[in-house]
Amino acid sequence: MITPTWVQFGYLVVAVCFILALKGLSSPKTARRGNLIGAAGAVVAVVIVFFAAPLDHVLPILLAIAVGTAIGVIGANRVKMTGMPQLVALFNGVGGGAAAIIALVELGALADHHPPAFDLIATAFTILVGSISFAGSIVTFLKLQEWMTTRPVTFLGYPIAYVACLVAALGAAVGVVLVPSVAVGGLLTLLGLALGVLLVLPVGGADVPIVISLLNAFTGLSVAATGYVFENLLLLVAGTLVGAAGTLLTILMARAMGRSLFSTLFGALRGGSTLGATTASDRPVRSAGPTDVAIMLGYANRVIIVPGYGLAVAQAQHTLHQLVEVLQQRGTRVDYAIHPVAGRMPGHMNVLLAEAQVPYQQLKEMTEINGEFGQADVVLVVGANDVVNPAAETDPKAPIYGMPILKVNQARQVVFMKRSMRPGFAGIENELLFAPTTTLLFGDAKDTMSKLLAEVKSL
């Protein structure tokens, strides 16, 4: 069927919108505009398909669009910034699942028309990868939401189960090509779902950002394959963009964390497990109250703030920004040190601080700020843990070993704001908490930060 000229032109406009959206998302200054451009392109794409394609079930389609729009709008408005990684994981999983379902339905139509082998290969690829993305994203969501343990999960015979499932899935994919049928496609779907669960279960909390990015790439690739099967140029372009961007981001994330992508995903096949501490330590630490910490900050010439996910959970970023402004008015030089995986996904901490109107020029990336910790009088760690844990450099058995960290331990004094002595997301103890230069300030971050702000103002 020849595609009308107006549809081809519309697809071109939408493709340009998606490219401009990715370009805009590359910088916090233009991210909002890029997101709006991408959303506008998606709306135009839906409208074009609705009016260009021969539709036999208009009412169910309109109902599906209405329900999906309502869920998306309500969900996006109600979810807090701290829950954004979970929302991204869910949306990503829905995309992969949708691609797999569409390919499975299309397989029933292809089976009766003796399609080219490559069409069947693309269909099998979409079913398998889309199913893996869906199941893996659901497990990732459960880990991020802490509805299941964030520690690596393995069991006796896990390597055998994983390899057997992988071999069976590849065999089912070959079966789809040789004997195309919905039954074989359904088996491939089930094996893909099981493979997605087995893929993500042994991934520890510290490596979840890498997995989010990788599953995003999987979804993009499955959508691109769907575009090939349907001969839809727009799906092909959009899926390729998402797949390529997700793959590049995964590589960059793995490098930022000093990780091997292969060992992150398949390390459990060796039978090992990197499980850290799960209970609070009873070792003695040095603690202080807001008044003592305020004096430390008040007489400091150079202060570096290390924000973490705990800051966002307590919604203390606005009070922290006020504290920084007061210190700057007193002549103190203050910067924020941002680890590449601060928060629960790439760029998460930047967005949280931007929400509090923190000037972007105050945010210093790890490679830029690490050389300055030695000159800092005080480093205030708020809600961060794993990204400043020296075990990443000193303990080969630690699950975060090899991950580049912020060199907080080089500062003259370190103040840790913590609710308790519980380990971080990676589930291991932080030796920095017991260092002679470290002082702990216990309490809810928002409440304690308010008290600290009041004490600094009174100096």
Question: Any idea where the domains of the chain sit in the sequence?
Answer: 1-78, 82-270, 290-458
Q: Is 341 in contact with 425 (CB distance < 8 Å)? A: no
Q: Which residue among 119, 207, 335, 386 is the active-site one?
A: 386
Report pLDDT for 151: 75
**Torsion angle in degrees (nearest 10) through CA of 411, 417, 422, 427:** -50
Q: What 8-state DSSP symbol labels residue 316?
A: -
* Separation between Cα atoms, residue 346 and residue 85, nearest integer Å: 9
Name the residue with tokens 């994981």.
89
* Separation between Cα atoms, residue 31 and residue 25, nearest integer Å: 4
The 3-state DSSP class for residue 110 equals helix
Catalytic residue flag (residue 119): no
* Separation between Cα atoms, residue 210 and residue 221, nearest integer Å: 17
Query: Could you read off the pLDDT of 362-403 as tens digits, one per residue?
Result: 888 888 999 999 999 999 999 888 889 998 888 887 777 878
Report pLDDT for 424: 67
- Report the top-level CATH class of 290-458: alpha beta
R_g (Cα) of the chain, nearest Å: 25
Report pLDDT for 279: 47
The tokens describing 28, both together, are 């916090």
In 3D space, the residue among 156, 245, 159, 153 whose CA is nearest the CA of residue 200 turns out to be 153
Quote the pTM value.
0.78
The 3-state DSSP class for residue 388 equals helix
In 3D space, the residue among 130, 81, 83, 78 whose CA is nearest the CA of residue 104 turns out to be 130
Report pLDDT for 125: 95
Report pLDDT for 326: 94
**Torsion angle in degrees (nearest 10) through CA of 65, 68, 70, 72:** -130
- Sequence-distant (6+) residues with CB within 8 A of 444 are 314, 419
Report pLDDT for 212: 85
Report pLDDT for 346: 67
Name the residue with tokens 């230069």.
437
- Sequence-distant (6+) residues with CB within 8 A of 300 are 327, 332, 377, 378
Residue ranges of the chain whose pLDDT lies below 50: 271-279
The phi and psi torsions of 366 (rounded to 5 degrees) equal -55, -45
Report pLDDT for 427: 67
* Separation between Cα atoms, residue 382 and residue 408, nearest integer Å: 12
Alpha helices in 145-181 (DSSP H): 158-178
Element (H, E) at 378: strand 378-382
Please provide the DSSP assignment of 268-337 as one string. Answer: GGGT-------S---S---B--HHHHHHHHHT-SEEEEEE-HHHHHTT-HHHHHHHHHHHHHTT-EEEEE
The tokens describing 213, both together, are 């990015």
